[in-house]
Amino acid sequence: TLIFAVESSCDETAAALIDGAGNLLADVVASQIDFHARFGGVVPEIASRKHIEAICGVASECMDAARKHITPREASMFSWKSLDAISVTYAPGLLGALVVGVAWAKGVAWALEIPVIGVNHLEGHLYANKIGNDWLKPPLVASLVSGGNTLLVHVQAWGSYHTLGSTIDDAVGEAFDKVAKALGLGYPGGPHISRLAKQGNPRAIAFPRAMLHSGDYRFSLSGLKTAVITYINNAKQRHEELPVADIAASFQQAVIDVQVEKSRTALRETGAKVFCLGGGVAANPQLRRAYEEMCAEEGVRLALPPLRSCGDNAGMIALVAYDRYKQGKFFNIGFDPQARCNLDEPY
Ligand code: ATP
Ligand code: MG
Ligand code: FE
């Protein structure tokens, strides 16, 4: 079995190919970051246009990369006609970006007369944890932290999710990006903040830990973001030199403290003995270390996605599609992309 996957929900155009044993034969990502960086964020209109320009090339590149992983005999027979299904991210994300991948997938599925499988992008970020962690199995608790989402999920089984809580305002990645912008750093801000934070003191400035004791699993990041921006503006007004590294470290620590404590509570309440982390912010080294410490304290096994699979990619979409293919969960070719989607009812 060969399942092709495409992802175009935000600003990376990606394609991957997975075989019948669940091995990723190819996993190609083309980022548009350079085109958005000068605007300080993703411009939806530009994202759509760049996806249109890139998608056929990225798909061909993926097929070429896969060819190198199969025997010469297989390679001589290998073509688009070898595919058994096409999968694609259908939600959530930028509608104009999603529609490019979805239209491409429908066209190819139609032409090859093979089924199409729609995949929820957040379920993809969750499945990225399977890469390099063969032991990973629900029940587990997952934290999904990315540019557009922040949620804690109780995974009862693959495909069966209960969202424990999510952000009531900004996403964690969004907060990193906005704080980075206020500090005059580039886009995306997450990697800049985490690099600077290594040189700073995380206890230097007492930024608020919003919702830490709210007794539920909701998050709020906009107050923290405002506190950091206010701190920066006050320092500037007093013509003081900005303690940039301390601001980055203290902001990051405020985020980490809340994320980790709510995750700890979720583990205790659900009784789950496995935890995993997904989404672009999962690449943050200090966040990863904090989760390693907490899980060791709680006697919980931790899975982390490989660094290259934290941000958007199609490998994670292929992994979800692999499960759905086995279950025969195909989409009617008339399906539409959706900007928003609840993980609790991904289909
Ligand atoms: P969503 O997955 O919610 O649809 P998205 O796909 O745009 O949103 P991702 O690509 O999964 O988001 O993640 C991008 C986010 O990850 C950005 O906000 C970026 O700043 C953040 N990020 C990347 N690396 C780091 C890091 N080292 N530390 C913190 N944040 C990071
Ligand atoms: Mg991105
Ligand atoms: Fe994402």
Residues 55-78 pLDDT 10s: 999 999 999 999 988 888 888 889
Contact between 112 and 20 under an 8 Å Cβ cutoff? The reply is no
pLDDT at residue 69, as a whole number? 86
9 lines ligand 1 (CB under 6 A): yes
Ligand 1 in reach of 10 Cβ (< 6 A): yes
**Confidence check on the interface: ipTM exceeds 0.95, yes or no:** yes
Q: What's the chain's average pLDDT?
A: 96
Q: Is 337 a pocket residue for ligand 1 (Cβ < 6 Å)?
A: no
Ion ligand 3 residue ranges (Cβ < 5 Å): 146, 312
Task: Evaluate if residue 346 carries a pLDDT over 70.
Answer: no
Average pLDDT over residues 19-48: 94
> 75 C-alpha to center of ligand 3: Å?
32
Predicted local distance difference test score (pLDDT) of residue 74? 85
170 lines ligand 1 (CB under 6 A): no
Cα angle 15, 287, 259 (rounded to 5 degrees) comes to 100
Dihedral over Cα of 86, 318, 176, 212: its sign: positive
In which band, very low, low, confident or very high, does the pLDDT at 271 lie, cut at 50, 70 and 90? very high
Under 8 Å between Cβ of 202 and 250: yes
- Give the mutation target among 32, 36, 123, 146 for probing the ligand 1 site: most ligand atoms within 8 A of CB: 146
How far apart CA 85 and CA 108 sit, in angstroms, is 10
Q: In whole angstroms, give the CA distance from residue 237 to residue 86.
A: 56
pLDDT of residue 347 exceeding 70: no
Q: How far is the CA of 111 from the centre of ligand 2 (A)?
A: 30
Q: Read off the pLDDT of residues 284-303 as tens digits, 9 standing for 90 and up.
A: 999 999 999 999 999 999 99
- In the structure, what pLDDT confidence band is assigned to residue 217 with cuts at 50, 70 and 90? very high
Q: Are 209 and 257 in contact (CB under 8 A)?
A: yes
pLDDT at 334 over 70: yes
The mean pLDDT of 235-243, rounded to a whole number, is 95
pLDDT digits (tens, 9 = 90+) for 109-167: 999 999 999 999 999 999 999 999 999 999 999 999 999 999 999 999 999 999 999 99
- The answer, yes or no, to whether any atom of ligand 1 lies below 6 A from the CB of 40, is no
pLDDT at 236 over 90: yes
Q: What percent of the chain has pLDDT over 90?
A: 94
Mutate to test the pocket of ligand 1, among 8, 9, 10 (most ligand atoms within 8 A of CB): 10
192-216 residue pLDDT tens: 999 999 999 999 999 999 999 999 9
Atom 12 in ligand 1: which residue has the minimum CA distance? 147
Secondary structure of the chain in the HEC alphabet?
CEEEEEECCCCEEEEEEEECCCCEEEEEEEECHHHHHCCCCCCHHHHHHHHHHHHHHHHHHHHHHHHCCCCHHHHHHCCHHHCCEEEEEEECCCHHHHHHHHHHHHHHHHHHCCCEEEEEHHHHHHHHHHCCCCCCCCCEEEEEECCCCEEEEEEEECCEEEEEEEECCCCHHHHHHHHHHHCCCCCCHHHHHHHHHCCCCCCCCCCCCCCCCCCCCCECCHHHHHHHHHHHHHHHHCCCCCCHHHHHHHHHHHHHHHHHHHHHHHHHHHCCCEEEEECHHHHCHHHHHHHHHHHHHHCCEEECCCHHHCCCCCHHHHHHHHHHHHHCCCECCCCCCCCCCCCCCCC
* Residue 126 in contact with ligand 1 by CB distance below 6 A: no
Is 311 close to ligand 1, i.e. is its CB under 6 Å away?
Answer: yes
